[in-house]
Amino acid sequence: MPPLRQIILSTLLLTISLVPAKARDAETLSEARGKNGMVVSVSPPASEAGLAILKAGGNAVDAAIAVEFALAVTWPEAGNIGGGGFMMVHPVGGREVFCIDYRETAPGSATETMFTPKDGRHTHKIVGVPGTVKGMARAHAKFGKLEWKQLVVPAVKLAADGFVIDDALASSLNSVLESIITKEGGHHQELIRVYGKIPQKGAEKTKWKAGDRLVLPDLAKTLQRIADRGAEGFYQGETAELLVAEMQRGDGLITVEDLANYKAKARRAVHGKFRGYDVYGAPPPSSGGVCLVEMLNVLERFDLRKYDRYSTRNIHIIAETMKRVFCDRAQFLGDQDFVKTPKRLTRKNYARKLAEDIDERFATPSETLAPHVEVMSESPSTTHFSVIDGDGLAVSNTTTLEASWGARIVVKGAGFVLNNEMGDFNWYPDHTDRSGKIGTKANRIAPGKRMLSSQTPTIIAYKGHPALVTGSPGGRTIINTTLQMVLNVLEFEMDLPEAMRAARIHHQWLPDKITYETFADQITPETIAELEAKGHVLSARKKSSTQGDAHSIAIDLDTGEYHGVADWRRNGKALGY
C-alpha cells in the first residue's frame, strides 16, 4: 500500500475514531494499533480475554483459545463449545500453514435419508457432534505455550461472575427469547431458563438491555471441567453424560461413543497466489479456501484496479466469478475424508478457462452453468476473530453453531447451546429443486462425515510474513465477504478501515441474483440500471441488513505495525498494544 495514502487515511481515521462509540455505524469503527499483539473479535470481553493472554506471555494460538472459550460465554449466539469451526495458523516464518479443522461430524447412526421435508431446524436430530473443545486442545498441543488451564479460566470467570452485556448481545438475546417463547417452547425451555432475563416465570415479559449483567453458573461449571481435565472434561464424564441425556430427551443421535470418537484434525491449508501474495485458506470440509483461491485466480485475469471499485464492469465481473465458483462448490465439494477434492479447482489454468467463459457484456444465466442443481438457504450466525502476537504468529478463526443460537437447545444442567450443523449437509439425496434444495453426492450425510462449510478464515502473507488476517460469518456470503476484504486491500489498495466500510455484494450461483449492501449508497442507481441491462437481477439489502462481520488485522510490511479493525456491522472490538 502506498505509504502516503496510508498516512493520509490513518490521520483521517484518527479523527474519525474520536467520535463517541456507537454500535452498527460505519463511521465509528473500533480500531487499534500496536506491534506486540492484536485481537479483534465481535465481543469486547472476549477481545479483552485474548489481549490479557498475549500480555501474560501467551502466543497468538493461546490467545485465540482464550477468545474462543470467552466467546462461548459472551457471544452465545455463535461463540460456542457445542459447535465447531476452523482455525488457520500461520507460524512464524510461515513454512507450513495449518488449519485446525474442528468441524462437527454426523453421529455414527446418521443416515443419508434421516431428514424428511417435515424436519425443522431446531431439533435434537440436527445437532452434529461438537468439535470446538477438541479443536482447541489440538491447537494447544501443536502450538500452545501457556498452560491450558490459564486459557480456559478467563471464560470460567466471565460465566461465574457474569459480565455486562452490550447492545448487540441484548438484541440477540431478546430476539431468540421472543422467537422461542412465541413460536417454539418445548425443547427450548432450558434456553429460556438459562438466558431469560428473569429465569422461569415472567421471562417473556422482561427484555435485556445494554448494561445488564448476564451470569451463567451452569456454563461456568462446564468450563471449569474443561479447564481441569482438558478435552476429556467435555467429551467424557459429567458433561458428556449431560449432553447424551439431552439427546435422549429429544430425537437426538449423539452417543457417548460419538463423543469419544470425535477427532479434530490438523490439515494443510489451501494455498493460492494473488498479486504476489500467498493466500492461505481453510480446506474441505470447508469450501472457503478452495472457493476463495478459485475466485482470486479468475479475477486476477481482469485487472479490476483499472476500473472504479463499484463500477458496473467490476461488479459484473466479480458477480460472474462468484456465480461460477459457487456452481463448482455445489457440484464438487464435501468432506475431503469422504470425497476427493478436484485438484483443478485451485489451478490457474482452470481459472483461465472460467475467465474466458465470462462475457463482459452479459450476465450468464446461472442455470446454463449446471442446470440440474440448486442450493439451500442459510441464516446467521457464526463469528470470526483474528489474532497476531509480537513474533508474527497469526491466527484466523471462524466458529459457528450454524444458525443464530444453533438448534436453540441448551444442554440441561450444562448451560451450553447446541449447534444445528447437520443442516449444512445436503438433506435429501437427488432432491434438487428451485426452492433451494441440493441433493448432489459430495455433501450427503454419512456417519462420521463432516458437513460442507463456507467458513473462510484466511491469512494473506508476503514472503513468509502475514499481511492480512481476515474472515467473516454469514453462511455462504462468508466466502464473498472474505473475497471482497482481500480484493479491497490487495487489488484496490484500500487501507483496512476503508476496506471494512466498502459495500459488499453476494452472488451464490442460485438463486441467480446479486444482493448488495445499501448503507452508504456506494453502488449507485445508475450502476444498478446498467447491471440490469446486462441481465443481472439485483436485490438491495435494507440499510439495516448488512453482509458479514469481518474482524481483521492488517500488518504493515515495512514497519511491522499491526492495525486491527473490528467490523462495524455487528459491533466488535479491536485491542492491541
Interface contacts to ligand DON, rule CB under 6 A: 378, 380-382, 400, 402, 421, 424, 453-455, 473-475, 478
Give 574's contacts (C-beta < 8 A, 6+ positions apart).
30, 31, 32, 38, 39, 40, 47, 551, 564, 565, 566
547 in Cβ contact with 474 (< 8 Å): yes
70/422 with CB nearer ligand DON: 422
389/424 with CB nearer ligand DON: 424
3-class secondary-structure state, position 530:
helix
**Which residue type, as a one-letter code, is found at position 278?**
D
Min dist. Cβ of residue 421 to ligand DON (A): 6
3-class secondary-structure state, position 218:
helix
Three cell numbers, residue 68? 474462543
Residue 222 and residue 280: Cα distance in Å, rounded? 34
Q: Is the peptide bond before 2 cis (omega within 30 degrees of 0)?
A: no
Would you tell me how many other CB atoms lie within 10 Å of the CB of residue 30?
20
Distance of CA 562 to the CA centre of its chain: 22
101/402 with CB nearer ligand DON: 402
400/484 with CB nearer ligand DON: 400
Min dist. Cβ of residue 161 to ligand DON (A): 29
224/482 with CB nearer ligand DON: 482
Min dist. Cβ of residue 153 to ligand DON (A): 29
How do beta strands 458-462 and 465-470 pair? antiparallel
Residue 529 and residue 518: Cα distance in Å, rounded? 15
531 in Cβ contact with 539 (< 8 Å): no
Min dist. Cβ of residue 509 to ligand DON (A): 15
121 in Cβ contact with 420 (< 8 Å): yes
What is the 3-class SS of 505-538, one letter each residue? EECCCCCCCEEECCCCCCCCHHHHHHHHHCCCCE
Min dist. Cβ of residue 286 to ligand DON (A): 7
Active site residue 15: no
Min dist. Cβ of residue 113 to ligand DON (A): 21
For 552, the enclosing helix (H) or strand (E) is: strand 552-555
For 39, the enclosing helix (H) or strand (E) is: strand 37-41
Min dist. Cβ of residue 290 to ligand DON (A): 13
Min dist. Cβ of residue 524 to ligand DON (A): 28
144/380 with CB nearer ligand DON: 380
Residue 63 and residue 48: Cα distance in Å, rounded? 10
Three cell numbers, residue 175? 430476539
549 in Cβ contact with 567 (< 8 Å): yes
Phi, psi of 191, rounded to the nearest 5 degrees: -65, -40
Among 132, 222, 239, 382, the one annotated catalytic: 382
316/450 with CB nearer ligand DON: 450
Residue 516 and residue 309: Cα distance in Å, rounded? 14
392/473 with CB nearer ligand DON: 473
Which residues are part of the catalytic machinery?
Answer: 382
